[in-house]
Structure 1
Amino acid sequence: MSQFLTLLQKEILEMWRNYKLVWVPIVFIILGVQEPLSIYYMPQILDSLGGLPEGSIIEIPTPAPAEVLVGGIGQYNMFGFIITILLCMSLVAGEVKSGTAAMILVKPVKHGYFIAAKWVGALLLLWVSFFIGYLVTWYYTGLLFDWVPFDSFLGSFFIEGLWLTFIVTISLVFSSIFSVPGAAGFASAATSIILMLVSSSLSHLLEWSPGMLPSYASIYLVEDSLKGDGVMAVVLTAVILVILLFLAMRVFRKKELAA
């Protein structure tokens, strides 16, 4: 266990030296504040662009607070997804390519601890950044529109966070398989996008798919509850995460032993 904690400490220190602990939360805060501000000031933005007949009045229906938060989740599904892939595609592949992994594994360090430390370190950064950014979305939504119950906010946060965790884990698996970070990033993005598209297209058949989690996060904001299919999607995703994590450990160990 001491090996794992030492490796985790190394990951956190490295994220601090690379300023990831600074710029990733800042990017998520920008994403968080963008949706409520852009919706609230949309009439002024359209008016400043011009091109409308003189004397025309812009009337845009005021959205429900939950709808504003749903739009915020959409920002994280798009841009947060890209940031997560970019952060995680070099988790293992980057260190293998640079030779850092070989130097660490020369010592009596277990391959499982190496992968687990990468996974936990990435999740700590992602969950903290996402919480801060989404909390900003919730705060400005309440300030400019109306307050969404905090328990609804927390429920949607954990469901969407589980989806981002799935992306991290998928990226970790492909980063363990491929030696080139770009290939790992492409494979991770393609797999996640295909899963989302197939799940949304066949939602009546794939209610338990991890690709449905973003939809369930939005539904939770509106209905303030998670029905049976959503609960099963959460449970199934948690099981798949454990399987993927052990798969990453096994693949990385066999790859390193073969080398």
Structure 2
Amino acid sequence: MSQWLTLFQKEILEMWRNLKWIWVPITFILLGVSEPLTSYYLPQIIKSFGGLPEGSVIDILPPTAGAVLASGLSQYSTIGVLIIVLGTMGVIAGERKSGVAAMILVKPVSYFSYVTSKWAGSLLLVWFSLFIGYLSTWYYTGQLFEWVDFGEFLQSFVLFGLWLTVVLTVTVFLSSALLAPGMAGFISLALTLVVSIVSGALSHLLEWSPSQLTSYASALLIVGELPDDTMPTGLLAILAIVILLWLSVFLFKKKELAS
């Protein structure tokens, strides 16, 4: 356990040196604040562009607070996922390519501790960034529109965080299986995009797809209750995370021993 904690602390320190603990949370905060501000000032923004006939009246019904919060979550489904993939695609592949991984594994370090400590460090960064970013969305939505129940905020945060954990684990898996960080990132983004599109188009058949967690979180905010398939979808997502993490360790060990 002490070995794992040492590697975990090393990963946290490395992210501090790379400024990930600064630019990733700040980016998530900017994404979180942009949606309620844009929704609130949309009539003024349209009016400022001009070009409307004289006497025209802009009458846009204000969205509900839950809809604004759900739209804020959608920002993390696109740009947020991109940031996570770009920030973690080289977490293992980059060290393998540079030879740092071989230097660390020369010491009595287990492959399991090496891979899982890197995954846990990235996971902590993702959940922390998502929380403060989403909290800023909730706060500004309450100030500009209405306050959404904090319990619903927390539930939707956990559901969405679980989906981002799946994305992160897929990226770590590909980073441990491939030597090129760019290829790992490209495949991760492509796979995430395909799964999201297919699950959205065939939502009546793929109710338990982990990517459905995003729509279930939005449904909670807009409708006020969770869909019936939320629990099995969450359990399946956790199972997928465990399997992918085990495969990451297995493939990484196999490739390192082969080399």
TM-score bracket relative to the smaller structure: over 0.9
1:24 equivalent in alignment to 2:24: yes
Q: How far, CA to CA, are the matches of 1:225 and 1:15 in structure 2?
A: 38
State the partner residue of 1:146: 146
Counting only pairs closer than 5 Å after superposition, residues 11-160 of structure 1 correspond to structure 2 as 11-160=11-160
Q: Match for residue 10 of structure 1?
A: 10
The answer on whether the counterparts of 2:200 and 2:212 sit within 8 Å (CA) in structure 1 is yes
Give the aligned residue type for 2:27: V
After the TM superposition, which segments of 4 or more aligned residues of structure 1 sit over 4 Å from their partners?
none
Secondary structure of the equivalent of 1:210? Answer: coil
- Contact conserved, 2:40 with 2:144, CA < 8 A, in 1? yes
Give CA-to-partner distance per residue, 1:62-115, whole Å, 9 cap, x none: 100000011101111011011011011111101111111111111010001000
Code of the aligned partner of 2:79: F
Q: Is 2:163 the partner of 1:163? A: yes
**Structure-2 residue corresponding to 1:220:** 220
In 1, Cα distance between equivalents of 2:210 and 2:30: 26
Offset at 1:53? 1.2
**Separation (CA, whole Å) in 1 of partners of 2:193 and 2:229:** 21
What whole-Å deviation, never above 9, does each CA across 1:134-158 have from its counterpart, x for those lacking one? Answer: 0000000000000000001011100
> What percent identity do the matched residue pairs reach?
55
> How many aligned positions are there?
259
* TM-score, normalised via structure 1 length: 0.98
The aligned residue for residue 232 of structure 1 is: 232
Aligned CA-pair RMSD: 0.8
The aligned amino acid for 2:111 is H
Per the alignment, residue 190 of structure 2 pairs with 190
Question: Equivalents in 2 of 1:106, 1:13: separation in Å?
Answer: 21
d(CA) in 1 for partners of 2:224 and 2:157?
12
CA distance in 1, matches of 2:247, 2:47: 54
TM-score (norm 2): 0.98
Between the aligned partners of 2:187 and 2:74, the Cα distance in structure 1 is 22
Per-residue deviation, 1:223: 3.0
Return the alpha-carbon distance in structure 1 between the equivalents of residues 220 and 103 of structure 2. Answer: 46
Which blocks of at least 5 consecutive residues in structure 1 are unaligned? none
State how far apart, in whole Å, the 2-side matches of 1:167 and 1:151 are.
Answer: 25
In the alignment, which residue of structure 2 is the partner of 1:174?
Answer: 174
